[in-house]
Amino acid sequence: MNEFLKKGVIVLLGGIIQGLGMGLFLFPQSIPSGGAGGMAILFNHFFKLPMGPALWIVNFSLLLFGIMYLGKRFAVWTVFGMTITSLSIHFFEVYLIIPERNLLFDLIIGSVTLGIGVGLLMRQGVSNGGVGVLAYMLAFKRNILPGKPLFFFNCLIFFITAAVISWKIIFLALISQWMSTRIVDIIYSYPSYEVYTLDWRNKKA
């Protein structure tokens, strides 16, 4: 039970920190936080789906794909993490306003904060949703750090989205992904605390 509660607290913290980076720093500057948003934009462009339902379809489809390989517990924890992140994004967007914004500051702080949140989630065997499901699956299967596949998947979608929609934000998105995924790998591989794996057995990082 103590292990369960500890994992719950860390997932809660990871979701809040991820939501802080996205809702307070990246989204106000129109910087995409990941590939799921890019895929949602493509759904909206080709099928005229509203962004909200399009993003839900992307996240839900990838989560179902992840359940086939990583199990139901992975899905339950991922849904919990995604919910906390979404609620946090809404809170920070609505209730915390930065009167004078600076693009470079928002880009750096938002990317670092995003990376910390995602790294905490992935250390607990939890995806941050969207393309993070695929990245975690590949990292889990090949026993590699998740930052590299996460960066690859997100950048691939960014390039496709930019080619179809607009190239205006591609450079900011790539810089943000490079910084945040480096932080993810640092947090994921840091050896000072225990990781709770998908089967809830403990192992040292």
The residue extents of the domains of the chain are 2-198
What does the alpha-carbon distance between residue 119 and residue 98 come to, in Å, rounded to a whole number?
A: 26
What does the alpha-carbon distance between residue 79 and residue 173 come to, in Å, rounded to a whole number?
A: 25
Residue among 126, 118, 130 nearest 7 (CA): 126
pLDDT (tens digit per residue) in 54-98: 777 887 888 887 787 778 888 889 889 888 988 888 899 888 888
How far apart are the two ends of the chain, measured CA to CA in Å? 21
Per-residue pLDDT, averaged over 121-125, amounts to: 90
Per-residue pLDDT, averaged over 27-43, amounts to: 79
* Lookup: tokens for 185: 């790998």
User: In this predicted structure, what is the pLDDT of residue 40?
Assistant: 76
Report residue 27's pLDDT band, with 50, 70 and 90 as the boundaries.
confident
Mean pLDDT taken over the chain: 83
What are residue 204's DSSP bridge partners?
Answer: 194
Residue among 75, 70, 57 nearest 137 (CA): 70
pLDDT higher than threshold 50 for residue 204: no
What does the alpha-carbon distance between residue 56 and residue 137 come to, in Å, rounded to a whole number?
A: 20
